[in-house]
Amino acid sequence: MVSDRDVRIGIGGIAIESSTFSPLLSTRENFSILRGEEIAASYPYFENGIFEGRDDVTWLGTLKARSIPGGPVDAASYQAMKGELLERLEQALPLDGFFFDIHGAMSVVGMDDAEGDLVSAIREAVGPGCVISAGMDLHGNVSEVLVGAVDIVTAYRQAPHVDAMETKARAVRNLLMLLDEDIRPHRAWARVPVLLPGERTSTFWEPGKTVYGKLTESEAVDGVLDASLWVGYVWADQPRASATTVVTGTDSDAIAAEAEKISRCYWDARQAFDFGVPVGDADWTIDQALSLNQKSVIISDSGDNPTAGGAGDIPLMVERLLARPEFASGERTAIVAAVPNAEAVTTAMTAGEGAEVTVTIGGVNDPVNGYSLELSGTVYSIYENDPVGSDIVVIKSGGVHVIVPSRRKPYHHIREFENLRLNPKDHDITVVKIGYLEPELKEAASSAFLALTPGAVNQDIPALPFERLQRPIYPLDPEMSEPELTPRIFGPIG
């Protein structure tokens, strides 16, 4: 395969995690779009456009679009991004390889398998002779169409995703290995009928830790090139939504055996997956936090978590905190991060720091699961031009500091609080609209709770209004019988 000329490898993809249960559509404006040479330059493992010393490779970036999670992508935005990617791909031909960089849980209005649609179009353009390697999030949903169109696919093995960049580099390494050794592998694909949220399937505690730990054992087997397992994405009412195993390799018997082993391991562990922290309704978590009588207790407002696709402006936790005399009076203090509302930001910025304001928050992004709430208080701080949240204000009502960004913004890092003259360690409770805590917040939390709150990513999975899932599936059908886990084998392409 490697001839005397450069190896030509294309890169591209569209990445978003989007909930079909969110009323807030994602549009092209929500995506950061990179083109051409900007793409290779965006990965930390490329140095001056060269990957791991491989100066025989020419990287041809097409289009790489990425958005923070949200609601379904509107069809016109998807078609526009797909169209531009394909146009740039045509200009890059002929290609020896293509690195398909996606999340895997993109919902597009009117489509059941957006990534399958996109990769099929890419395969058609590049032809069967081009090797395609995909790198994904383990919260993606993997259809037979997707696996049928790629030569190899790998996914994160840790959640929280501390191995995100390492995984993308592995996907590129996989691609170069196939090209160098002139291999077109088989793929064993198995759907595991289990659909659990990421908050219960972290690899930082059991049983996720053990199940995911086994992937390296499978990968060490002769004839296996990559072993991957997807938890899948719960908040997508689509037939493909499910846990999935894909094992890629040169020996079809070996990959079939390993895929079945991994799938069986995940299936057998299904009832043991649980939240890493105590869970309860909003008021219960506040009760628990207060009873501890300590600073820096963190509560996840999990149903409205924008990092999983929630609309992010449900003001429930602000309302529940202010309903308590301790917080209304200022005797106890809290931070709520965050409830976005552009109009409230304008009002507060116009009034200025220290001024008294009355604003309305909530009910804009998610009027279905949420509602609006009047908030009166002092403008505590202002931070302008945040790259994610744009202009941000803090309105202090009683003892509750409500962070109000202009746009949706998750809070994972202490310095983002410090930008607003806040620190969770100075307050009794900090509410974050995220699911499991990212390492830095986990470190800062004296105790943590997860509130089962309403929203587009409600953690009460059996209560979600699913209509199009493949049934039976756990936990919706808890009494279902043992599933068939024999994988489907896809033969070499080309």
Would you tell me which residues interact with Zn ion (CB under 5 A)? 137, 139
Q: Please, what is the minimum distance in Å from the beta carbon of residue 192 to Zn ion? A: 17
Q: Of 60 and 434, which has the nearer Cβ to Zn ion?
A: 434
Antiparallel, parallel or unpaired: β 7-15 and 57-67: parallel
Q: DSSP for 209-235?
A: HHHHHHHHHHHTSTTEEEEEEE---SS
Q: Please, what is the minimum distance in Å from the beta carbon of residue 141 to Zn ion? A: 12
Which positions ≥6 away from 384 have C-beta within 8 Å?
391, 392
Q: Of 97 and 160, which has the nearer Cβ to Zn ion?
A: 160
| 224 touches 286 (CB < 8 A) | no
Q: Of 136 and 224, which has the nearer Cβ to Zn ion?
A: 136
Q: Of 70 and 377, which has the nearer Cβ to Zn ion?
A: 70
What letter represents residue 135's amino acid?
Answer: G
Task: Name the DSSP class of 272.
Answer: G
Upstream peptide bond of 472 is cis (omega within 30 degrees of 0): yes
Q: Please, what is the minimum distance in Å from the beta carbon of residue 69 to Zn ion? A: 9
Task: Compute the Cα dihedral for 253, 258, 264, 270 and give only its sign.
Answer: negative
**Which residue, chain included where needed, has tokens 């701080």?**
381
Would you put residue 64 in left (φ > 0), alpha (ψ -120 to 50) or beta? beta
Q: Please, what is the minimum distance in Å from the beta carbon of residue 139 to Zn ion? A: 4
Q: Please, what is the minimum distance in Å from the beta carbon of residue 431 to Zn ion? A: 22
Helix (H, G, I), strand (E, B) or coil at 192: strand
Q: Please, what is the minimum distance in Å from the beta carbon of residue 306 to Zn ion? A: 13
Q: Please, what is the minimum distance in Å from the beta carbon of residue 157 to Zn ion? A: 12
Q: Please, what is the minimum distance in Å from the beta carbon of residue 212 to Zn ion? A: 13
Q: Of 63 and 308, which has the nearer Cβ to Zn ion?
A: 308
What letter represents residue 230's amino acid?
Answer: W
Residue nearest to Zn ion (CB): 139
The vertex-216 CA angle with 211 and 218, nearest 5°, equals 85
Helix (H, G, I), strand (E, B) or coil at 149: helix
Q: Of 137 and 304, which has the nearer Cβ to Zn ion?
A: 137
Q: Of 290 and 388, which has the nearer Cβ to Zn ion?
A: 388
Q: Of 26 and 381, which has the nearer Cβ to Zn ion?
A: 26
Task: Name the DSSP class of 278.
Answer: -
Among residues 361, 365, 344, the alpha carbon closest in space to that of 27 is found at: 365
